[in-house]
Amino acid sequence: MEERPVVPTHLGIIMDGNGRWAQKRSLPRTAGHLEGLKALKKVIKEASNQGIGFVTFYVFSTENWKRSKQEVSYLMGLLVSKLHGELAFYNKYNIRILFRGDIATLPKEVATVINNTISATAANTGITCILAINYGGQDEICRAVNRFLEEKPERNITCKDICSHLDLPEVPPVDMIVRSANERRLSNFLLWDSAYAELEFYEKLWPDWNFEDVQRICTDFAKRVRKFGGVQ
Ligand code: IPE
Ligand code: IPE
Ligand code: MG
């Protein structure tokens, strides 16, 4: 039997370049976000075909609140309408949706649709699509430490304690983080989990991503030699 190449168990994607995509076409930045959602659907479908178990998409960072009120409210509105409107898509492709980030402080209607989406896709057994919303790696570590302190204020915290108090402790750490739009930074994404993640940066703007970009990620990942501090 033909052996399948190794793919990341957990892939993290920093979806960047929506604004530039729109700007190049003299469209409002919001048009780039809408097109970016179409790319997300193609990418998760191909990730599932490739046998990837988990994909975390960076949707909205704790720093993105600095953007104009109009852009922020467009993004929040898009979340509310599309999370609900795309349920048939997730269920058709057996995709389970989870969220990572400070969901409790989001506008109430966004938090509600998030909780509904988790329940409506909980029985799906295929790929897990994790949407990082109001997410910051530093913020997640702080919240994990505070959760721990509430439980066990009497003893020192360990790395294992932090792992078990992150937003999704059951999800394995990210194996590879990729970013679109030719920016080479993490921008506060998955800081704890990225300790030994492979990194790759691609030029293509996020709304232009398609099936072949996932195939390229898998090819790039298969070439990496991971040592985790040891000797190969
Ligand atoms: C990524 O695209 C989407 C979000 C951060 C919400 P950008 O909106 O950052 O696009 P550029 O970087 O301005 O092109
Ligand atoms: C990172 O992109 C956040 C998301 C993709 C949601 P940004 O466009 O906000 O990052 P910076 O500001 O260029 O570092
Ligand atoms: Mg950007």
Q: How far is 69 from 220, CA to CA, in rounded Å?
A: 38
- Confidence grade of residue 232 (pLDDT, cut at 50, 70, 90): confident
pLDDT-derived band at 106 (thresholds 50, 70, 90) equals: very high
**Mean pLDDT (whole number) for 3-17:** 92
Q: Over range 92-110, report the average pLDDT.
A: 97
With a cut of 90, say whether residue 5 has pLDDT above it: no
Nearest Cα neighbor of 100 from 160, 63, 140, 55 is 140
Measure the CA–CA gap between 83 and 131, rounded to whole angstroms.
10
Take atom 10 of ligand 2 and give the residue whose Cα is closest.
187
Q: How far is the CA of 18 from the centre of ligand 1 (A)?
A: 5
**Domain locations in the chain as residue ranges:** 10-220
Mean of the pLDDT values across residues 96-124? 97
The mean pLDDT value for 85-89 works out to 96
- Sequence-ordered list of residues with C-beta below 8 angstroms from that of 118, at least 6 positions apart, any chain: 97, 98, 99
Task: Work out whether the CA dihedral 182, 186, 189, 194 comes out positive or negative.
Answer: positive
- Going across the sheet that includes 10-14, the strands are 96-100, 128-135, 54-61, 10-14, 176-179, 198-201
Q: Which ligand 2 atom lies nearest to the CA of residue 19?
A: 8
* Single pTM value for the model: 0.97
**Which residues neighbour 229 within 8 Å (Cβ) at sequence distance 6 or greater?**
196
Which of 140, 147, 54, 59 minimizes the C-alpha distance to 96?
A: 54
- Residue 2's pLDDT band, with cuts at 50, 70 and 90, is low
Q: How confident is the model at residue 3 (pLDDT cuts 50, 70, 90)?
A: low
Mean pLDDT of the chain: 97
* Percentage of the residues of the chain whose pLDDT score is greater than 70: 98
Specify whether 64 is catalytic: yes
pLDDT of residue 124: 98
Amino acid identity, residue 216?
R
**Catalytic residue flag (residue 18):** no
Looking at the domain that runs over 10-220, which CATH code has it been given?
3.40.1180.10
64 Cα–ligand 3 center, Å = 9
What residues have their beta carbon closer than 5 A to ion ligand 3? 16
Could you list the beta-strand ranges (E) of the chain: 10-14, 54-61, 96-100, 128-135, 176-179, 198-201
> Which residues have CB under 8 Å from 1's CB, separation 6+?
none
